[in-house]
Amino acid sequence: MSILPNILFAIILIIGIGYFAKNVKKLIRNIKLGQDVNRKDNPSARLKNMAMIALGQSKMVKRPIAGFLHIIVYVGFVIINIEVLEIIIDGLFGTHRIFAFLGGFYDFLIGSFEVLALLVLVAVIVFWIRRNVVKLQRFWKPEMQGFPKNDGNYILYFEVVLMTLFLTMNAADFHLQYVSGGFSHYHQAGSFPISQFIAPIFDGMDNSVVFMIERTSWWLHICGILVFLNYLYFSKHLHILLAFPNTYFANLNPQGQFDNLESVTNEVKLMMDPSADPFAAPANPDAVPAKFGASDVQDLNWVQLLNAYTCTECGRCTSSCPANQTGKKLSPRKIMMDTRDRLEEVGKNIDTNKGTFVDDGKSLLNDYITTEELWACTSCNACVEECPVNISPLSIIMDMRRYLVMEQSAAPMELNNMMTNIENNGAPWQYNQMDRLNWKNEN
Amino acid sequence: MSENSIKVPTMAEMMAEGKQPEVLFWVGCAGSFDDRAKKITKAFVKILNRANISFAVLGTEESCTGDPAKRSGNEFLFQMQAMTNIEVMNAYEIKKIVTACPHCFNTLKNEYPELGGKYEVVHHTQFLKSLLDDGRLTIEGGQFKGKKITFHDPCYLGRANQVYEAPRDLIQKLDAELVEMKRSRANGLCCGAGGAQMFKEAEKGNKEINIERTEEALSIEPEIIAAGCPFCNTMMTDGVKNKEKEGSVKVMDIAELIANAHDL
Task: Answer yes or no: are the C-beta atoms of B148 and B176 closer than 8 Å.
Answer: yes
What are phi and psi for residue B211, nearest 5 degrees? -70, -45
CB-CB neighbors (< 8 A) of B29 in chain A: 426-429
Kindly identify which residue of chain A lies nearest to residue B58, measuring between CA atoms: A437
Length of chain B equals: 264
Torsion of CA A12, A15, A20, A21, to 10 degrees: 130
HEC string for A35-63: ECCCCCCCHHHHHHHHHHHHHCCCCHHHC
Per-10-residue mean pLDDT for chain A, 443 residues long?
89 98 98 97 98 97 96 92 92 94 94 96 98 97 97 97 96 93 87 95 94 97 97 97 98 97 90 79 72 97 98 98 98 98 98 96 98 98 98 98 97 97 97 96 87
Torsion of CA A393, A395, A401, A406, to 10 degrees: -160
pLDDT of B3 higher than 80: no
Number of Cβ within 10 Å of residue A94's Cβ equals 15
Q: How far apart are CA A236 and CA A311, in angstroms?
A: 6
pLDDT of B160 higher than 80: yes
CB contact under 8 Å between A428 and B197, yes or no, is: no
* Domain-embedded: residue A282: no
* Domain-embedded: residue A405: no
Q: Report the mean per-residue pLDDT for chain B.
A: 96
Give the residue extent of every domain in chain B. Answer: 3-131, 139-261
* Domain-embedded: residue A268: no
CB-CB neighbors (< 8 A) of A439 in chain B: 27, 31-32, 38, 41-42
Which positions ≥6 away from A400 have C-beta within 8 Å? A293, A294, A295, A364, A365, A369, A374, B73
Which positions ≥6 away from A357 have C-beta within 8 Å? A298, A346, A349, A350
**Each residue of B203-238: pLDDT tens digit?**
999 999 999 999 999 999 999 999 999 999 999 999
* Out of B109, B186, B201, closest to residue A414 by CB: B201
Q: What is the number of structural domains in chain A?
A: 1
CB-CB neighbors (< 8 A) of A429 in chain B: 29, 33-34
CB contact under 8 Å between A411 and B33, yes or no, is: no
Distance of residue A29 Cα from the nearest chain B Cα, in angstroms = 29
* Domain-embedded: residue A258: no
CATH architecture of B3-131: 3-Layer(aba) Sandwich (3.40)
Number of Cβ pairs < 8 A linking chain A and chain B: 220
pLDDT at B85: 98
**Each residue of B23-54: pLDDT tens digit?**
999 999 999 999 999 999 999 999 999 999 99
* Domain-embedded: residue A26: no
Distance of residue B93 Cα from the nearest chain A Cα, in angstroms = 20
pLDDT of B198 higher than 50: yes
- The residue range of the domain holding A166 is 41-248
* Domain-embedded: residue A255: no
**Each residue of B80-134: pLDDT tens digit?**
999 999 999 999 999 999 999 999 999 999 999 999 999 999 999 999 999 999 9
CB-CB neighbors (< 8 A) of A323 in chain B: 203, 205, 209
B139-261, which class in CATH?
alpha beta
* Out of B74, B79, B162, closest to residue A265 by CB: B79
> Which among B115, B153, B155 is the top mutation candidate for probing chain A, defined by the most A β-carbons within 10 Å of its own β-carbon?
B155
> Which among B35, B114, B199, B201 is the top mutation candidate for probing chain A, defined by the most A β-carbons within 10 Å of its own β-carbon?
B199
CB contact under 8 Å between A417 and B199, yes or no, is: yes
pLDDT of B2 higher than 70: no
CB contact under 8 Å between A404 and B73, yes or no, is: yes
pLDDT at B161: 98
Q: How far apart are CA B31 and CA B54, in angstroms?
A: 20
* Domain-embedded: residue A381: no
CB contact under 8 Å between A382 and B3, yes or no, is: no
- Matching fold, domains B3-131 and B139-261: yes
Average pLDDT over residues B195-204: 96
Distance of residue A353 Cα from the nearest chain B Cα, in angstroms = 34
Q: How far apart are CA A330 and CA A324, in angstroms?
A: 6
pLDDT at B1: 45
Number of Cβ within 10 Å of residue A287's Cβ equals 8
pLDDT of B135 higher than 90: yes
Kindly report the CA angle at A322 between A318 and A328, in degrees rounded to 5?
80
> Which among B75, B106, B183 is the top mutation candidate for probing chain A, defined by the most A β-carbons within 10 Å of its own β-carbon?
B75
* Domain-embedded: residue A81: yes
